[in-house]
Amino acid sequence: MVKRKKRKWYVPEGVEPTDFERVMMAYENKGCLVPSRSLIKTPEQIEGIRKSGVVNTGVLDLVEREIHPGMSTLEIDKLVFDYTISHGAVPAPLNYEGFPKSVCTSINEVVCHGIPSEFDILEEGDIVNVDVSTILDGYYSDASRMFVVGGTTTPEKQKLVDVARECLQIGMQAAKPYGFVGDIGHAIEQHARKNGFSVVRDLCGHGVGLEFHEEPEVLHYGKKGTGMLLVPGMVFTIEPMINMGDWRVFVDEEDGWTVVTEDELPSAQWEHTFVMTENGLEILTY
């Protein structure tokens, strides 16, 4: 006897489905990968995530004002911790699966998950990604920005930073209600390639809100019409990691966290948390 897979949008016999449930069942009947009910956030939950995002944005605004040549990444970590705690929130990365600091600081060829240190001193022309995640009243938000230390860098690094930001914006525009996660990755990869860059494949965006990492995985490469269906109420990040050279990366064996480009050429990343609405994406981490 063949055991049938449990349907995500099953409605008991005799119960009248809502219009939204009918739409979801129709997509599921077509064989689409649909989100579970738990991934559709309520208006109250979205408002909680939005409030968390306000604190998260405030952290990044503070870093933007304070970052300068000669500053250690440990100083950035202290800024993030102090601001977050003073606003009644908690830095989500701190002690997450053993991560020892409150923020990820990733300089030049470090793609992501760089651990702040008193020995990592920012120099004029460095490009650095500061990735901040916040828990406020149990709700999670997540965003990152690129900073050019001292305001100027090489033309090649500046183009990388700019194109990475464009990739985020293009990915956002590609995400439509009742479209698919793959539409986002396809648009991002096309823009990166057009500019001579590559997209990291080992890491991705993700659902967020009630937990740090939820479904779906948001790949930043791929094919249109693939992956999970995007529907109103879903909250997730888009965070393309764009490399100047090859897309391959490795994890530093000493700390088990720091992700570095295999060819040690620079990488850049921008990230926002979004909620899908009937009209498209809304940014929750301005």
Q: How far apart are CA 111 and CA 270, in angstroms?
A: 11
In a domain, 45, yes or no: yes
Number of domains in the chain: 1
In a domain, 231, yes or no: yes
Q: How far apart are CA 186 and CA 208, in angstroms?
A: 22
Please tell me whether residue 237 adopts helix, strand or coil conformation.
strand
Residues 183 and 219: beta-carbon distance below 8 Å: no
Q: How far apart are CA 83 and CA 75, in angstroms?
A: 12
What Rg do the C-alpha atoms of the chain give, in angstroms?
20
The model carries a pTM of 0.96
Q: What is the CATH number of the domain that holds 149?
A: 3.90.230.10
C-alpha torsion sign, points 121, 125, 131, 134: positive
Domain ranges, residue 106: 38-283
Length of the chain: 286
In a domain, 209, yes or no: yes
Distances (CA, A) of 66 to 61, 85, 106, 131, 155: 9, 18, 17, 15, 24
Residue in 257, 244, 278, 217 with CA at minimum distance from that of residue 96: 257
pLDDT for 272: 98
Q: Which residues of 246-278 are buried (b: 16+ CB within 10 A; e: fewer)?
A: ebebeeeeeeebbbbbeeebbbbbbbbbbbbee
pLDDT for 2: 42
Q: What is 102-114 written as a DSSP string? A: SSEEEETTEEE-P
In a domain, 151, yes or no: yes
What residues have CB less than 8 Å from 106, skipping those under 6 apart? 112, 113, 114, 128, 129, 131, 258, 259, 267, 269
pLDDT for 6: 76
Cis peptide before 17 (omega within 30 of 0): no
In a domain, 52, yes or no: yes
Q: For every one of its 286 residues, what pLDDT tens digit does the chain have, with 9 covering 90 and above?
A: 444 567 899 989 889 999 999 999 999 999 999 999 999 999 999 999 999 999 999 999 999 999 999 999 999 999 999 999 999 999 999 999 999 999 999 999 999 999 999 999 999 999 999 999 999 999 999 999 999 999 999 999 999 999 999 999 999 999 999 999 999 999 999 999 999 999 999 999 999 999 999 999 999 999 999 999 999 999 999 999 999 999 999 999 999 999 999 999 999 999 999 999 999 999 999 8
In a domain, 271, yes or no: yes
Q: How far apart are CA 266 and CA 162, in angstroms?
A: 13
In a domain, 168, yes or no: yes
In a domain, 260, yes or no: yes
